[in-house]
Amino acid sequence: MILNISRGKNFQECRQKSFNWDELRLQTWRESDPLIVGEGYHLGSEVVSQTADVNEAMDATEKRMRERYSKSLILPEEQPDIERNILWARHAVAQWAENYDRADFRVLMPEVKGCVPIPGTEHHCWFAHRLLYPNLPFEECDGSSNVACWQPHYLAFKTDGIIEMYKVIYLLEQKTTAKLGNDFWIKFQLDAQVRGYCYGVWKATGIIVSGVLINAIVKHSKQITLNGVKKYQLDPTNVGFEREPILVTMKDMLDFEKEFVQLANDYELAYRTNNIYKNTGACFHYNRKCEYFDLCKRDQQQLEGEFKPREADYVQDHYYTVLGLPNPKEATCSATTKDAELEENSQTTTSSAPTVEKS
């Protein structure tokens, strides 16, 4: 099976949330602000690295965020908060550009991504089997005759890039946070993403990095009084910045490999046997309500139009590549493009045809 870090973390956090997102592909009509802000900022930081044009980077950030927000159901009273988010992201990109100029490092590879097999994990894969042989019950296939079912676990990953700083090779990562302190940096020493990205780069490229250089972009809030009530509100012009290297050893990467295999085993078994249950301690992680909270209260009974179908992500795309199957998403995109071309040609033909008037 194929697993990335975020899917693994969601599964550990709450199996029901993981199932709703990964398997049922349910997405809310109102996407989470931190996800949109994070995507916009990451895009802007990439543009800074590629072009060194701060204004272009800030404009790219704003454009991406407005595109994402346009696909969400936005209430009129939410619009001021959205504008603050966009303004903050622009200032965050400017802050990154300022500190990027001061950084004594050079980019060796701007982006690294891959889907690497984990050694010694070959097994009769349930996820591969159901794609290859949807009409053959899994229990009736031992994997020996259908060798394509016999697959290892894979780690899928995408990371910002490989850099060299003071003759040491690091991965570069961006984090946005509302709070800094000693605990913020310490937690990354055992973080699955930090160790997993280093492991993935090692297996995909053969390069052994010394760790991850983390750029922390800090959100600050200011106290306001609204209708006589004091509350804290994002200060869009106050952006902090800190940078710390997190070292990762070979022992750390091998420890990650061991735990990743155990996690992948648990994930596949849970999905295959429908061993899915809620972890109600995760309903309000990150100080916000889980998007599936109301769905869980109704025992997974959906209301009509409550969710929209989520587009296939890069993990699902990797399945078709690994198994040598045609990707239905690519076929759909191709068909959509052809339909658009036919419609455009039809309109052109119609508009260019001579008009015959009756006398």
Q: Is residue 28 part of a domain?
A: yes
Cα angle: 137, vertex 130, 259; to 5 degrees:
110
Query: What is the SS3 assignment for 159?
Result: strand
> In the chain, what percentage of residues exceed pLDDT 90?
61
Looking at per-residue confidence, does 225 or 355 come out higher? 225
Q: What is the dihedral of CA 298, 302, 304, 310, to 10 degrees?
A: 140
CATH of the domain at 47: 3.90.320
pLDDT-based confidence at residue 151 (cuts at 50, 70, 90): very high
* Any domain includes 143: no
101: in domain = yes
Q: Domain tally for the chain?
A: 1
Q: Is residue 232 part of a domain?
A: yes
- Contacting residues for 296 by C-beta, under 8 A, at least 6 apart: 16, 278, 283, 290
In a domain, 13, yes or no: yes
**Domain limits at 37?**
2-118+153-296
pLDDT at 342 over 70: no
**235 lies in some domain:** yes
pLDDT of residue 250: 97
**Whether 153 contacts 200, CB under 8 Å:** no
Tokens of 333: 């995109």
Work out the angle between the directed axes of helices 54-70 and 79-102 (0-180°, nearest 10). 150
Segment 179-188 mean pLDDT? 85
DSSP state of 279: -
What does the alpha-carbon distance between residue 239 and residue 84 come to, in Å, rounded to a whole number? 12
How far is C-alpha 296 from the geometric centre of its chain's CA atoms? 24
